[in-house]
Every structure is written in C-alpha cells, then in structure tokens.
Structure 1
C-alpha cells in the first residue's frame, strides 16, 4: 500500500515558527515522495501566526494526513507571544486523532500541553552533534541502531512526565535529557534534536517512519477515507497563498540569441594585469577584481565602463522611493532629483516604490534583456553595483536618505580569466570603445608592471572606534537572548569611522587597500552618476572581501558562507589554524550558518547539496573556515537566481540564526543604527544569466565621496563564545581593512 491512494496525495501541514531551518524540514518531508513505494507527499506550509487560534485552523485539519510542527525561537511557556498558534493547538479534542510530529520548539509545545515542564538548560547546546540512545521500542525509530548522532539546537529542555513515553535520551553536563517522546494514547510524537541538520544521522528515516505511522493510524481511525471523500485541491491552494512565493519574473530557458561584440586576447595569468589596465584607462570605471587567485573564488576579474546608455537604478528603502535615469544624463539634475526625494515631490526620474516593488522593477529590467550568449563567460554586460543590508526583507527600517541599492547597467566591459590567460573586451552595443582598445594594445599584456603604493601619503586620520565597554554590554545581552532560546547565534557588529585630514581620492585608498590585503573579491565603485552630483554626496565602496555570497548560472546556485577566523602570524600556520577552527565553538558557528544557508536555498529550490564541508582557507591576513552549498536544476524551476538573491538577503553569515528574530534583536543590540552598505552584497547580474555577489566585509564605504569612511566588523556570538576572544577576532577583521590607514613598521 502506498501513502497516496486515488487522486489525493499524502498531505502534510507544516507549521513554521519563523525558524531558519524550517525549509530543511519541509524538503526532508517532501523527499520521502515515491521512495520505498511511497506516493506523492505534498507539504503545505503556514506560519504559526497565520491563524490566531486553533479554532480558525480547525476546518482545514480533516484535509491533512498529519501535522509537522517546526523548530523556532522562543519558549512555549511564554504562550502566544512566542509560539503563536502552537499555544492553543492542543486544546481542541479534534486534534486527538491527528498524527503530529513536533521538532524542537514544536516538541516542547506538545509536551507542555500534556503537563510536562519546559526548563532552561544549565549548559546550552547550539550546533553541537551528540550521541542519541534509544530508550523504548517505537515504530518511530524502526530501523535505527541503539545509538546514532544528531544535531542539537536548544536552550530549553523537556522534563519527563507521566503523560509522555520516553523514546530517546542523550547525556551531557546537564545529565540525562529527553530527546524524543510520544504522548500516551495519542498519535503525537516529537524530537528535541534537529533531524533536518546536515550533521544529523537518519533524519529521512525518522520522517519516513512517521509518515507510515500516520498512514496506518488514519486508515484504522477512518480519517483517511473521510479525507478522500472531501478532497478539494482548492483548500491546499488557499493555504499555500498565505506565504507569498510569487517569482519576481517568469524564469525562461529559451532566451533569445543576440550578437555581441567580443575580442579575445592572450594575456598573462597575473591578477596584476587587471589593476594595470585600471591605472592606464582614465575613463570612469567599476572594478570587480581578483587580487588573489583561486579556481573557485578568484578566477575572474571584470572592469566595467558606464556610458550614456547605462541605466542607473537606485532605491531608498526608508523613503520608499526609486530613482531611474541614464548615467550622467545632461538633462537630469541632482539638485532636482534630491529635492524630489527629500520633499516627496514629483519628478520624472523619481518613483514611489517599496522594496518589493523595486525587486519587481529589477525583474522587469533584467528579464527583458536576458540573452543566450557566451555561457562560458561569467559576465558579458548587465547590472553591477551594491545592495545594502537594509534591502533584506526582515531588516527593520531606519530613517535615512542614503541609498540602499545602486545598480548600473553596463554595455562595455573587460573580462579576464586568470587561469586560462584569456582576456575579452565585450560590448552589448555595436562595438567596444576604440580609445580603450588602443590603450590595451599598447600595454604589456604578457608582463604587466604595477607600482601601487602599499602606504598612503603621510596624513593624519581620525579613527573613531566604539568602546569596548559598549561591545561587552551587547555581548552580554546576546548571551541572555540565547539562554532564553530567542536565538542560536547572533552576528554582532560595530562600525568605525575614519576621517582623513586632507584630500585623498577613493582610488588612491583602493590601491593601498588591495596592495596590503589582496582578496578574491576586490571591488571599486564610485557612483558619480549625475553631472552635478557633489563629491560629498557620492557613494563609494572599496572592498577586499574574501566571502562569496551567491553565485548562479542558468542551472546552479552556490552560496559560500565563511564562519570562523584565525589571525595569521609567524606562530600560526594552516595546520594549527585548522585545529583551532574545528573546535566545538567554531564547528557550531559554521554548522548553524550552513544549515541556515541550506534553508535559504530550500525555500525556493528542492535540489540542494553541501558540496564542501568546513574547509579551512588561507588569506593574506587570516585563516577562515568555509562551506559550499549548491542548489541544482534552477532551469527547471519557476524561480530565477534573482528570487534566490532576494529571499536570501541579508547574508546569514552576517545575521545569525534564526534570521528573522535575530535581525530584530541586532536592531536593538546595535542601537538601532543602520549597517548600510556593510553586511550587504556587491556584484553583478550578467545578461547571459550569470551572477556573482560577494559579502560586503573587509570593506570601506562612504556616502560623501571619501570625506569620511565607514568600516564595519563583526563576529558570530554563540553560547560558547568568550567576550575577550570575540572582541579580539572582531579587531582582527577590522585591522585587515583599516591597515591601509596605518604606517607599516
């Protein structure tokens, strides 16, 4: 017998408590479809606040074969405020015959409803893998060995009670702890650990066993026959719409073919070539250069030349306004545009838009220009620029007149492959600019000479760093939040302001920054996009980021989170750094973000895999631990890479987990200050449907053309963190960007 009989699939209602691992659970359930004789398993997801009370959900319940209650932040003891619908879910007798599986928070809420106590652990466990041991025989754990490993993310635990049948235990400093149970005389089960984590064993088997239990129960109780008699697909469609997952634009595989102008050169493989060309070409330019080489994260360099055909799209999230005009259009005045923004008045280049509408604008702009051309090249022209931290859907608004997104459409570019020794001049218009071609023809492409200074001119700099005391206070608050169960990991940051005493161009600072801190994602953006734009209103970004955020092509998305940092020194080598970065604290940091990244991809795409698990990589000034997660078959999805970008912002490595509540906590911890460009992303969306975005870390940015520079740094706080060591790590990251303002010894 299969789980699906007749025309009705096996229907699971998943209640999401805004956790950053929820879609890992959803996909784990869906993956049981058509396995071992299974039919289709269909999961419908709602949030725990979609309905205020179980009475509102009651009419839908006969249409579902079972419920899965997901993990999440907070405590069920706090009731509706923390767990929403779960607070009343078990009060109605109609649920007594509905099979339920609770995970972590869902398990705690179920047990609390049966009279069990939910208490805080003495020693918290977040992102830690432990041995689980079976306590009693149960069909839920059919096929399991006596001992297996699973990942724990919990600050609270359930005390065993008479109404619960213990199924699994674990033992640690807290003593013996209940890790799974069944409610006596009810088809209600739960696990405290996270079966969906990539480090949990046999998670799929647990879900498979539960679905079989649910099917058997429903057949014997008559629920299955009744569901078939009332089956109505519109019910599921109605609930599906409670969470908006409409694609930004219709993803197309059959893109039109268009001729583009490309000239190929044989060149040296040195990353110095990119910088040498930049020095030689005086035209305004944007640079995304690999100043350190690696096959996966430092292969390509791109130089972009905006021109009169370049559209400039800028969004101001707190103003709910978007501007759109051509690069340095003689007919568009900054004074007029700025007046319209500040006074909410009319202007032909200024539009009222919220963030969602701006994403729609990007989608319309992009989808109308995508073409089938040179899939071997990462960039042939398209949108380049930066998306700030506040572009994330879950980030609270902070009043500001600074731009949160700025993207420029590029027709003409130079693309360099540092591994094959090939360089391409590319134009989406008729031909690449002749004067730049002439300059290139005169350069020593096989042996570039670059004399970039590693120090800035002698000058005083005021460096304003927030106090260690304020950081320690915020650190202590993080610990309180995590011990209460509000978050597993919090990426606490602070920003430093640097004011030069004298004229110093952004390009001159970029030269020194790259010389002293080469990185795979070095970027230079100076947005002088209007003719009369004052220098003190110009957005500039100088980045030497080591971290890729999101890369995609027509079929694959890749995220590459970095968590865990060790400073390089004469006493520290790769082997020693690896030993440090594989300790439980650093392992837990990386695992939490790795599971979060999987969730961000799984929200839209079903085929997700961990391709690289916690590798330690060497950079100019630090060692860092990196994982790689990929989603495949994008071409078969209704979603595009732009959808994944929107849904994944801000980067999980810069927030912590669960993302939604942690971002809200950070808003208070960081004194309601904007992160702005810092913690956002920079990169490109090429018109051959390729894209690559890096995280804005190890960067300097300015909203006033370099009169003042801002530099952010942060680190993930977990329950295993120590204030002094976290502050030291933060300063290590800060130094890698600020070192250009200090004299070498």
Structure 2
C-alpha cells in the first residue's frame, strides 16, 4: 500500500500520468479506469489500474476454472458468433472481436492511497516518480463520413423500415475518422478527463491499439448472484445556467419520445436478463432516471436480477450482448438492418470494456464517446449515434449526434462536415 497525501493536488495527477507512460514503455497491455466520483446509480467504475503482457486466448477468456483477473474488450461484432449475422462494411482499424489480458500489476486508487493486489518494491514507486512527461500532441485531422443531408436521408430510410414493420427502434451511428503522424493517446485521455470526466472513463492499451473512453453508460455489473444492467436512452444538453439546466432536465423527463425509446430498450433488457436469471427476480429498480453529466443529462434505467445457479460469464454475455441501447428492437432483425444502413464496421465501438475478478464478479461499460486508435497505422475513429423511431425528427437526431461528438472533436481539435 502506498499513501499519497497529495492525491487531490496537481502532484497526484502528474503521478498518474507518469504511471501511464511507464506502463506504456514496460507492458504490451494496460488499463486505467476512473469513475470520477460520479453519483451514478449502483456506483461508477472503481479507480483501478492493470498492467501485464499476457494476452488471453478466446478459450482462456471464457475458462472459469483458473481464478484470475481478466481485463479487456468484447467488440460489437462478437454478435456474429451468437447469431446468424455478419459485418461486411469496411473496417477503419483491424481490431479483434475479443481482446483480453491478465495483469501482473493491479491496484486501486482509493482516497489518499494506492492499494496494490501484488507486492511492489519501493524501487517501483521511485521509478515512476523519475518518469519525465513528454511534450505530446493530441491534434488530429478528422473528417466525418456523413453530412447533414446524407444523415437525414438515412433516417428517412430507417423510418420506412419501421413503417414496414421490420424494426421498432434502430440505433443508427455515424463515424468520424482521423489520421495523424504523432498522436498521443495518453495525453488525449487526460485532456478528455479535464473536459468530460465521466463515470466509465477508460484508457486501454493493447499493443499498438488504444481505447480512449469517456463513456457514460454501464453494460453489466455482477456482484455475487446479483446482475445489474443500466441502458441509456434519452439525451439533452446541459443548460447555460441553473434555470436553463432545470428546464432541460424537466424537458427530458417529460419527453414522450425519449421515454418511449427508453422503455423499449428497458423491456428488451428485462427480456435478455430473464434468460439467465431466477424466475420472477428481474426487476426495474429505476425507470427514466435523469442524471447530470458534465455536458448532458441522460435518461438511465436500472434493471436488476438474481442469476440462476452456476451461470457462467460466457452464458451471461451470450444472453445479453450486444446491449440493446446500441442496437434497438427487435434485436436480431435490427442488427441486420444496422449492417445494411451504416457504412462502417463498428469493431470495438458499441462493444463493451471491463474487468472480471477471481470470484467471477465483473463490471463492463458500453464503448461510446470513445476514440479507437492504432498507432501502427496512424489512424483513429469514433462513432456517435441515436435511436431512430417513427416519430424521430431527423434534423434533431443529427444535432444530438453532434452534441455527443463535440467533446471528442474538442480533444482532437477537429470539426464536423456540414
């Protein structure tokens, strides 16, 4: 255990940055999670750090006989292993569907100290403190792949599918792509933390591939026999002052459209959890909860249940993945339409990032408001989306997407196409 009495001073922030650069130089994989003390229902991510160089095979990811920490990503296109689905759109980056490692270093930041799972020598702390922070670049040339008129045409095409009874709600996403010569994901993450500290913030390295995430959404959390899902549907920007803030918050709560979207996905989530839960245990703990985040208010519902005995991690994922908030309903047919209507392979975007401990407890976020990058190919991308229903106004949905993209564009110093 290492105490840091200056945790809430700039010194501790710089120490964490030094830790990330040290880990980048010494390990193939690392992950830093920060819940930013968010008042999130069922708590945000714990503040955790993992580092190691042992990647796990697919069979090792699902194998529960060996009690070990596992940290990583389930990409959206893992859906193709669960259903008769495919992903034929172009891919920005060559990202694996499953990417997990087991850490050799693991500790938690808590109050004024660091609690380490493994014994660390005094020399370790001195080594971190001697790391020099580089002059880094967070700028990137960014372009969007849909302009406003193209986006509106796509929304109208989705609404035609809704009229024909093919889907009720479809989460349609567009992308922003970036190229760079010398872009620093570590510095970008800490800059993102400054402007948008979120309950599921993550910095994840897997070789040359990176996730820089400011996610507001939990996918699944397991504690003992309890499983919690928290779909988000419903977004409105924060106000310029307290009065406008309260007006916007109330407008979101009273929006029939947003409530209908949220209810559809909450019902889908209840159905998914019922496959792995004890009969009668699936309960909606909170419906249409409105929560304040740095740039937006989000409508979050919380669904909780008690797992059936001896349910495995793989069985839980197979029953619930991908999360309904990123597909729509009905899930399988809507995923087919997503592949037809979107122009890119989602890869890690709208998948899940998280960790599993030796007891089998876990916590996974939804990979949204996140930058995916490959330093080897010098490319990155991020996606933003919204739920399209029969009464959605295409122009307003486009503005919602730009609202979600805004903070990432600020960090990358990019601008959207008009």
Q: TM-score range by the shorter chain?
A: 0.7 to 0.9
Aligned-partner SS, 1:726 = helix
The equivalent of 1:652 in structure 2 is: 324
User: Using the alignment, how far apart are the partners of 1:433 and 1:304 within structure 2?
Assistant: 17
Which one of the candidate residues 79, 84, 104 is aligned to 1:411?
104
Identify the range of structure 1 (465-474 vs 550-559) with the bigger mean alpha-carbon deviation.
465-474
User: Using the alignment, how far apart are the partners of 1:642 and 1:272 within structure 2?
Assistant: 41
Deviations 1:5-54 (A, max 9, x none): xxxxxxxxxxxxxxxxxxxxxxxxxxxxxxxxxxxxxxxxxxxxxxxxxx
Gap change, CA 1:573 and 1:409, over 3 Å in 2: same
User: Using the alignment, how far apart are the partners of 2:45 and 2:12 within structure 1?
Assistant: 12
Aligned pairs for 1:108-119 within 5 A: none
The equivalent of 2:120 in structure 1 is: 432
- Structure number, greater radius of gyration: 1
Gap change, CA 1:656 and 1:504, over 3 Å in 2: same
TM-score normalized by the length of structure 1: 0.50
The equivalent of 1:298 in structure 2 is: 44
Gap change, CA 1:271 and 1:603, over 3 Å in 2: farther
Aligned pairs for 1:299-698 within 5 A: 300-306=46-52, 310-313=53-56, 324=57, 358=58, 360-364=59-63, 367-370=64-67, 382-392=69-79, 393-394=82-83, 395-398=85-88, 401-417=94-110, 423-427=114-118, 431-438=119-126, 461-500=141-180, 502-528=181-207, 538-570=208-240, 572-606=244-278, 607-632=281-306, 634=307, 636-671=308-343, 673-698=344-369
User: Using the alignment, how far apart are the partners of 1:424 and 1:273 within structure 2?
Assistant: 18
The equivalent of 1:189 in structure 2 is: none
Q: How much does 1:426 deviate? A: 1.0
Gap change, CA 1:647 and 1:426, over 3 Å in 2: same
Gap change, CA 1:294 and 1:580, over 3 Å in 2: closer
Q: How much does 1:463 deviate? A: 2.4
Q: How much does 1:303 deviate? A: 0.8
Asked whether the equivalents of residues 228 and 304 of structure 2 are also in contact (C-alpha less than 8 Å), the reply is: yes
User: Using the alignment, how far apart are the partners of 1:609 and 1:458 within structure 2?
Assistant: 44
Aligned pairs for 1:36-185 within 5 A: none
User: Using the alignment, how far apart are the partners of 2:115 and 2:377 within structure 1?
Assistant: 32
Asked whether the equivalents of residues 271 and 292 of structure 1 are also in contact (C-alpha less than 8 Å), the reply is: no
User: Using the alignment, how far apart are the partners of 1:743 and 1:488 within structure 2?
Assistant: 34
Gap change, CA 1:452 and 1:493, over 3 Å in 2: farther
Gap change, CA 1:521 and 1:664, over 3 Å in 2: same
Gap change, CA 1:610 and 1:731, over 3 Å in 2: same
Deviations 1:687-735 (A, max 9, x none): 1322111000000002344722101000001112111111111111111
Deviations 1:369-428 (A, max 9, x none): 22xxxxxxxxxx61111111101224423386531221011132111235xx5531112x
Asked whether the equivalents of residues 452 and 515 of structure 1 are also in contact (C-alpha less than 8 Å), the reply is: no
User: Number of paired residues?
Assistant: 395
Gap change, CA 1:601 and 1:738, over 3 Å in 2: same
Gap change, CA 1:459 and 1:725, over 3 Å in 2: closer
Q: How much does 1:645 deviate? A: 2.0
Gap change, CA 1:640 and 1:702, over 3 Å in 2: same
Gap change, CA 1:516 and 1:616, over 3 Å in 2: same
TM-score normalized by the length of structure 2: 0.86
User: Using the alignment, how far apart are the partners of 1:462 and 1:382 within structure 2?
Assistant: 36
User: Using the alignment, how far apart are the partners of 2:140 and 2:104 within structure 1?
Assistant: 40
Aligned-partner SS, 1:734 = helix
Q: How much does 1:656 deviate? A: 0.3
User: Using the alignment, how far apart are the partners of 1:641 and 1:289 within structure 2?
Assistant: 23
Q: How much does 1:600 deviate? A: 0.8
Deviations 1:143-198 (A, max 9, x none): xxxxxxxxxxxxxxxxxxxxxxxxxxxxxxxxxxxxxxxxxxxxxxxxxxxxxxxx
RMSD across aligned C-alpha pairs, in angstroms? 2.8
Q: How much does 1:575 deviate? A: 4.5
Query: Quick one: higher RCO (CA 8 Å, sep 6+), 1 or 2?
Result: 2
User: Using the alignment, how far apart are the partners of 2:138 and 2:283 within structure 1?
Assistant: 50
Gap change, CA 1:522 and 1:730, over 3 Å in 2: same
